[in-house]
Structure 1
Amino acid sequence: MKLKSLAAATAALTLLLAGCSSGDSAAPPPAPQVTVATPLVQQVVDWDDYVGRFEAIQRVEVKPRVTGYLQRVHFRDGQYVEAGQTLFTVDARPARAQLDQARAQLARAEASLANARTELARSQTLAASQAASKEEVEARQAAVRTGVADVNAARAAVRANQLTVGFTSVQAPISGRVSERLVDVGNSVTADQTVLTTIVSTNPIHFAFEGSEALLLKYQRQNSGAARGKPVRIRLQDESTYAHAGTLDFVDTSIDTGAGTVRARAVVQNPDGFLKPGMFGHLRLAGTEPYRAMLLPDTAIVTDAARKLVYVVDKEGSVVPKPVELGPTLGDLRVIRSGIEASERVIIGGIQRAMPGQKVTAKAGQIKPATIQEGNAVEPANAPPASIATPAAAAR
């Protein structure tokens, strides 16, 4: 019995040791599989975002240049008018009466001058035969000079009154969209004081906005003349794309010390008059010249506290984290300013299974160029100054 018990115990111990030996020799789990790709290299242009409003290039208050009663209105409220088009008529009868009076005074002055010249000629003839004194001739000559002056004054009065008659027709000083009339027919208007209506030019039109001092410094350090002449794109508040193109034509010479901003302005063609002064819009200004950029999907970027990382698979198949400097977005891709080389294999898929220093199985993938819809681009709160990029061809 003792021998049987010992044999059973030995067999049990042997099985236990065999089980332990079997567990120790189990194969390790396979390396996780990830998708890797080299960064997409593409020519891009960075754009900076601003908010502003459209402004008329010219705005004129239409005032009469004569005093009188308004007799007629020649336009419809809101109508487009051409420069020189008649807008209002002021009662011209008093001005015409003054013009007639000035013409009569001119005729009288001309008659007096003709008589003075006749008297002078007679006196000179008599003086030649010693029948008239030298003093008399000189007096006749003075009368002629006075007559000439009177004629010139009368002619000037006629011209002045002709202008007054012409001013009774109030004309548009510029081409543009006229506002509503502010004075009705029958009311008295005062020269150079009563505002009859306003006219604003419509094509082209300005878009005014303010930028930060930091962006102004960036443009100046790029030797870009504070970005004057650079292309801009504008979208209205109900538009999804930046459909309105223009160019920057003015940057103020000083910075607002209170806000730390500088006023700038772009000029936009508006042939159909669709854009109105006062409209709100978003503007994008080309912040750089076209440059070659490395692009990665935004999903390939890992946040580690304040750092931004990408995971690279080295030649040994190990995961290596690399800090990177981010640029603007290009659709669903992100510009990588620095931190990696164009030949490195970056994990773009299965990144949640990768750990720094871990061996992985790398599967080759490809980064597809982004499909750009500028109006739908969304920028994270920690975005760099340039908020978006586009392919260089799209900036032309």
Structure 2
Amino acid sequence: MRLRSLPLRLLPLPLLLILAACGQQAGGPGGAGGPPPVSVAPAVQREVQATEPFVARLEAPDTVDVRARVAGTVEAVRFKEGQVVRKGEPLFQLDARAFRAEVARAEAQVAALKTQSELSRSELARAEKLVASQAVSAQEVDQLRSAARQAEAQLRAAESGLVQAKLNVEYASITAPVTGRTSRAAATVGNLVGVGEPVLTTLVSSDRVYAYFDVSERTYLQSLQKAKGAVPVSLGLDNETGYPHTGKLDFVDNRLNPATGTIRARAVFDNREGRFTPGLSARLLLASSERAPAVLISERAITTDQTRKIVLVVGANNIVEPREVKPGALIDGLRVVEGLKAGELVIVDGLQRANPGAPVTPQVLKTDEAGHPMPAAPAASK
């Protein structure tokens, strides 16, 4: 009695078969009132471009931590926090007086060493003319030649020091390395910053956005491995209905992760209007690159038996047969399934009255052009 008080669709499949067999033995094939009525619809086959939903995480193509390349005191912050800046625009200005003084000292050193190098070359040239008349010895010529080379080397070292001094003056003006939106300023006027520490601000590019998501091995083999050209991808945010934004797949990783059985993929979307913020989660809809035949049924025909997805098929002699299926993409309100053949009659209404292994009275519903079951016409009143 307790078993009969439970809804039949909640009972395990083996127990349903036993109850159906007992019912047939006790009261004949259909009982006193005959087999229960159910509504069935044929599984349809169509050429479809399968789509599959994913959850993605948005990231900026360029994320740069802005750091100081020289130590100094912050003289000015030249941007507003959260502002979009262009590449090369000034962000911070450090006190550059010591660096400019070093430039002046290096310039003076270069000038002195240049004069000394010119003098060494002139003395060497005069000695080389006199060596033929033995007015100077060969040893003196060798010493003058060595002195000229040493003066030239010292001059090149001083010129390198001058270049470094000028770079330090340039580094005192910290500019944007990429075009993007700034974060908060970690240092304000008067703070002393070191080389590389702290991170003064962070820039993220804003003209495009990446959506990273993980694709199963099956989807990769079916849709991405043989894809030719750009695969279309649609995106929707949490506060949006559907997938209003269109982008394209531009990257698939070079290996599958054996621990998860997935491979990382990336889609790119235009973000010049600033709709997307890096770090947000998003819904993606990935379209297959090719159209292929598939069997589709109504979504409400699919039930769950423990860990399996099953549908109830009306077979020979109107006997109900449970069939395990593998659901796929949802296309135009119909679910792609594996495990059925086109034309098989699937119960869509009256599942609670259908028992596996027991007969039913099927009413075949008409379907529209897409294959959706249409409601049964009301019975005519007598």
Normalising by the smaller structure, the TM-score range is: 0.7 to 0.9
Q: Give me the whole-angstrom Cα distance separating, in 2, the residues matched to 1:358 and 1:75.
A: 75
CA separation of 1:45/1:134 partners in 2, compared to 1, >3 Å: closer, same or farther?
same
2:306 is equivalent to residue 310 of structure 1: no
Q: Which moved more, 1:134-143 or 1:296-305?
A: 296-305
Quote the offset at 1:273 in angstroms.
2.4
Match of 2:234 in 1: 233
Match of 2:327 in 1: 327
Match of 1:246 in 2: 248
Superposed counterparts of 1:76-115, under 5 Å: 76-115=80-119
Match of 1:9 in 2: none
Quote the offset at 1:90 in angstroms.
1.2
Counterpart secondary structure, 1:78: coil
CA separation of 1:196/1:50 partners in 2, compared to 1, >3 Å: closer, same or farther?
same
Q: Give me the whole-angstrom Cα distance separating, in 1, the residues matched to 2:178 and 2:129.
A: 61
Letter in 1 for 2:252: F
Which among 117, 124, 127 is matched to residue 123 of structure 1?
Answer: 127
Conservation of the 8 A alpha-carbon contact between 2:51 and 2:331: no
Q: Give me the whole-angstrom Cα distance separating, in 2, the residues matched to 1:91 and 1:281.
A: 44
Query: TM-score normalized by structure 2?
Result: 0.73
Conservation of the 8 A alpha-carbon contact between 2:74 and 2:95: yes
Which among 42, 45, 48 is matched to residue 41 of structure 1?
Answer: 45
Conservation of the 8 A alpha-carbon contact between 1:251 and 1:265: yes
Letter in 1 for 2:243: Y
Superposed counterparts of 1:132-143, under 5 Å: 132-143=136-147
Quote the offset at 1:264 in angstroms.
1.7
CA separation of 1:227/1:120 partners in 2, compared to 1, >3 Å: closer, same or farther?
same
Q: Give me the whole-angstrom Cα distance separating, in 1, the residues matched to 2:345 and 2:256.
A: 48
Counterpart secondary structure, 1:128: coil
Counterpart secondary structure, 2:61: coil
Q: Give me the whole-angstrom Cα distance separating, in 1, the residues matched to 2:326 and 2:253.
A: 29
Q: Give me the whole-angstrom Cα distance separating, in 2, the residues matched to 1:308 and 1:184.
A: 66
Match of 2:295 in 1: 294
Query: TM-score normalized by structure 1?
Result: 0.70
Quote the offset at 1:92 in angstroms.
1.5
Quote the offset at 1:105 in angstroms.
0.6
Q: Give me the whole-angstrom Cα distance separating, in 2, the residues matched to 1:40 and 1:300.
A: 13
Letter in 2 for 1:116: S
Quote the offset at 1:169 in angstroms.
1.2
CA separation of 1:300/1:147 partners in 2, compared to 1, >3 Å: closer, same or farther?
closer
2:370 is equivalent to residue 369 of structure 1: yes
CA separation of 1:301/1:188 partners in 2, compared to 1, >3 Å: closer, same or farther?
closer
Superposed counterparts of 1:47-196, under 5 Å: 47-196=51-200
Q: Give me the whole-angstrom Cα distance separating, in 2, the residues matched to 1:337 and 1:289.
A: 18
Match of 1:255 in 2: 257
Counterpart secondary structure, 1:130: coil
CA separation of 1:363/1:264 partners in 2, compared to 1, >3 Å: closer, same or farther?
closer
Alignment length (residue pairs) = 332
Match of 2:21 in 1: none
Counterpart secondary structure, 1:174: coil
Quote the offset at 1:348 in angstroms.
6.4
CA separation of 1:256/1:176 partners in 2, compared to 1, >3 Å: closer, same or farther?
farther
Q: Which moved more, 1:131-140 or 1:362-371?
A: 362-371
Counterpart secondary structure, 1:271: coil
Conservation of the 8 A alpha-carbon contact between 2:238 and 2:283: yes
Conservation of the 8 A alpha-carbon contact between 1:204 and 1:267: no
Q: Which moved more, 1:101-110 or 1:302-311?
A: 302-311
Letter in 2 for 1:327: P
